[in-house]
Structure formats: structure tokens, C-alpha cells
């Protein structure tokens, strides 16, 4: 729009204007191992069941105000309180809502490298961001985290810690999380468990014993429903009640509700796919250990982090062979690193063949 004196300024907050775009650029390739998706689609028979139920439901009516039926189903599956269960359209939405809940005008504390949305949402919502570097072996710097907790502004905020960690696949010790929970009075401690299906144990007991500890989980990974965009929080009843005030009313569609309910009614397929992923993760790890120049990192997720002499050259060499992975070398401490999703056996074979010839 033009004014008398040239273009009129747009009413955009400076924090939004200064924020970078989300760091992702879509590339088409025959073997897609770049986004940590499930190697297989939602089972066809479950898709058909969901579609049958959708045909019988009214589409001109709003769904539940706060996805109550879905919250109850998730709570049953997780053996959690329905009042402490919050379901939204993706756990990434919950990350922004949790910054709104406890971080705006306060602080967001996390580690680096890490999932980019923690820092992006902190900047967009006006929270002071502190990122404590992981140790060289990707373990938590507990002394650094304790120091950060005491830094001004002393009023708390939100702590984001993924377990397993993305993008490294490392698994922090539950004892460390217990110590952090005890040291973080006045903070909301969020354990992002997007990849918990693929790991040894989870932080449920911690969240049960500490009301300020909250778990984030998703249907995008092991459940094979990334395209559906569904995630949830497991929290204390009091925290969940406050969090629901920030969730848009009637925000979960009838398609999302029905499809997720069908998935929760048939969880056996998830266990089968997790077992496949663990077998293939181990097979890929063993194969990569013989690579002359690459170093594969231990992983408790559905992906592997691989350090190469030159990430750009390795990425290009793989893509030339039709294999798409994710560069991570721009992140702190991950020079030369690529991240590779565990796919089907055929996809993993294609990756290993391409990797064997890559620099």
C-alpha cells in the first residue's frame, strides 16, 4: 500500500520482523530420510475405518471445545489424568503455548544444539533465551544449567529439554532430570518426549512426582501420523487447566479427532513399527562403523547423527544417488554432521550403498 510519502509501514512487531523463517527447505528425492517421519503410512485398514466413521458424522457442527473425548482416550492410553491431558494440533503448537504460559516477559532455558522452535518461539514471544551448550559427548552440562537457573532475571520461565535429544539422539540420565526438577522451583520444566517410543524408559514418574514437570508427546513419529498434525501434553491438573486457556477453542478438527481415536484403539501397529526401527537402527549403526571417514553417534531415537569430514560434500553425494538426509553442520558443536532417519529396509540399504561411496 502506498501513502503520500511512499510505502506505508506494516504493523508488525519488531520481534517478528527480526525472526528468521523456520529453517527448512523441501527437496524431492526418491529416498526421503530427512524429517524423522515414520517409515510407513498409517495402516490402510485403519484409514478406511476412520473414513467410514467420518461419513457418519455431521461436518456442519463444531467438535469438542477442548477435544475432551480425545483427551480422555489419550489419558486412558497413557494411564494419566484426563484433566492433566491437553491435546492440540501438533506438539510444536504446544511449544509456543508453553512459552506464552510461563515464558513471556520471563525466560526460556534450553540447551544447544537443539530443536530450533524453542529458540524461535522465545524470540517471537519476547522471552529471554538462554542456551547452555551440551558437553562434547552430548550429555547435559548440569553445572551450566544450574548456573543459568540463577542468572537474572531471576523470575523463572520455561525449561525445554528433549529426551531423547534431537538432533543428536542422545539420552540424558533420569537422575539428572530429577536434580534439575528439584533445582527449578518457579520454572516449568518441559521434557519433550517426541521420540520416547524408541528410547530406554521415559520421564513419566518424574512428571507424576513434580507438578511443575510436563511431558510433550506426538503422533507424528512412531504413530505414523505426521500429516495429521496431532500432539499432546501430560501435566499436572493445575498446569493443564491453565494451559487450556491458551488453546484455541474447537481447535481439533473432526478428521483429526476420529483418525487419532482410531489409532489409539489399535496401538499394536505402533509396537511392530518401533521394533522394526530399533532393528534397522542397529543394523545401520553397525554398517556405518566400517565407513573409513564417517563417525556414527549412539542414538535412542528413530534417526542417526553422522559426523563427516565435509557435510556439504557428503550431502551432495547422497542426493546424487537419490538419498535425501538433513544437514546439521550449522548447529553448535555439529560440524560436519548429517542426520539420517531410519527408513524401510530398502531405503536404509539405498542410504548405506550411497554412504559407502560418499567422501
- Rounded (5°) CA angle 217-23-140: 55
Contact partners, residue 76, CB within 8 Å, separation at least 6: 264
Query: What are the φ/ψ torsions at residue 130 (nearest 5 degrees)?
Result: -125, 125
Query: Distance between CA atoms of 337 and 122, rounded to whole angstroms?
Result: 26
Secondary structure (3-state) at 214: strand
Average of per-residue pLDDT across 39-50 = 98
Render pLDDT for 299-312 as a digit per residue (tens, 0 to 9): 999 999 999 999 99
- Rounded (5°) CA angle 346-259-254: 145
Number of residues written out for the chain: 359
Q: Please state the pTM of the whole predicted model.
A: 0.94
* DSSP strand pairing (231-234 vs 213-218): antiparallel
Half-sphere exposure of 55 (CA within 13 A, CB side): 6
Render pLDDT for 188-228 as a digit per residue (tens, 0 to 9): 999 999 999 999 999 999 999 999 999 999 999 999 999 99
Contact partners, residue 89, CB within 8 Å, separation at least 6: 229, 230, 231, 251, 252, 256
Domains of the chain: 2-32+269-356 (3.90.1150.10), 60-265 (3.40.640.10)
**Model confidence band, residue 133 (pLDDT cutoffs 50, 70, 90):** very high
Render pLDDT for 285-342 as a digit per residue (tens, 0 to 9): 999 999 999 999 999 999 999 999 999 999 999 999 999 999 999 999 999 999 999 9
- Residue 267 class from Cβ within 10 Å (0-12 exposed, 13-18 middle, 19+ buried)? exposed
Render pLDDT for 90-121 as a digit per residue (tens, 0 to 9): 999 999 999 999 998 899 999 999 999 999 99
**To 10 degrees, the CA torsion angle through 350, 352, 353, 354?**
90
Query: Distance between CA atoms of 244 and 264, rounded to whole angstroms?
Result: 22
Amino acid at each position: 500500500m502506498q501513502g503520500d510519502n511512499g510505502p506505508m509501514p506494516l504493523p508488525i512487531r519488531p520481534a517478528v520482523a527480526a525472526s528468521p523463517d523456520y529453517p527448512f527447505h523441501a527437496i524431492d528425492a526418491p529416498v526421503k530420510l530427512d524429517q524423522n517421519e515414520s517409515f510407513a503410512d498409517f495402516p490402510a485398514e485403519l484409514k478406511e475405518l476412520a473414513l467410514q466413521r467420518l461419513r457418519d458424522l455431521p461436518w456442519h457442527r463444531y467438535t469438542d471445545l477442548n477435544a475432551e473425548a480425545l483427551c480422555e482416550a489419550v489419558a486412558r492410553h497413557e494411564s494419566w489424568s484426563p484433566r492433566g491431558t491437553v491435546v492440540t494440533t501438533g506438539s510444536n503448537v504446544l511449544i509456543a503455548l508453553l512459552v506464552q504460559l510461563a515464558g513471556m516477559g520471563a525466560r526460556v532455558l534450553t540447551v544447544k544444539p537443539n530443536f530450533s522452535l524453542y529458540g524461535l518461539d522465545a524470540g517471537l514471544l519476547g522471552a529471554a533465551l538462554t542456551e547452555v551448550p551440551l558437553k562434547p559427548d552430548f550429555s547435559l552440562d548440569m553445572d551450566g544449567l544450574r548456573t543459568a537457573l540463577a542468572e537474572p532475571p531471576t523470575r523463572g520461565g520455561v525449561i525445554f529439554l528433549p529426551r531423547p535429544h534431537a538432533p543428536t539422539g542422545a539420552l540424558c540420565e533420569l537422575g539428572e532430570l530429577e536434580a534439575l526438577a528439584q533445582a527449578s522451583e518457579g520454572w516449568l520444566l518441559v521434557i519433550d518426549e517426541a521420540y520416547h517410543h524408541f528410547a530406554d524408559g521415559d520421564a513419566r514418574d518424574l512428571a507424576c512426582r513434580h507438578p511443575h514437570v510436563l511431558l510433550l508427546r506426538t503422533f507424528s513419529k512412531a504413530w505414523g501420523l505426521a500429516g495429521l498434525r496431532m500432539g499432546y501434553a501430560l501435566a499436572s491438573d493445575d498446569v493443564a487447566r491453565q494451559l487450556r486457556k491458551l488453546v484455541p477453542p474447537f481447535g481439533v478438527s473432526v478428521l483429526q479427532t476420529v483418525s487419532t481415536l482410531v489409532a489409539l484403539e489399535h496401538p499394536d501397529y505402533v509396537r511392530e513399527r518401533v521394533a522394526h526401527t530399533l532393528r534397522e537402527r542397529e543394523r545401520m549403526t553397525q554398517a556405518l562403523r566400517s565407513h573409513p571417514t564417517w563417525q556414527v553417534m549412539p542414538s535412542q531415537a528413530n534417526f542417526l547423527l553422522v559426523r563427516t569430514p565435509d557435510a556439504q560434500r557428503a550431502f551432495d553425494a547422497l542426493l546424487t544417488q537419490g538419498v535425501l538426509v538433513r544437514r546439521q553442520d550449522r548447529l553448535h558443536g555439529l560440524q560436519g554432521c548429517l542426520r539420517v532417519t531410519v527408513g524401510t529396509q530398502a531405503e536404509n540399504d539405498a542410504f548405506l550403498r550411497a554412504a559407502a561411496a560418499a567422501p
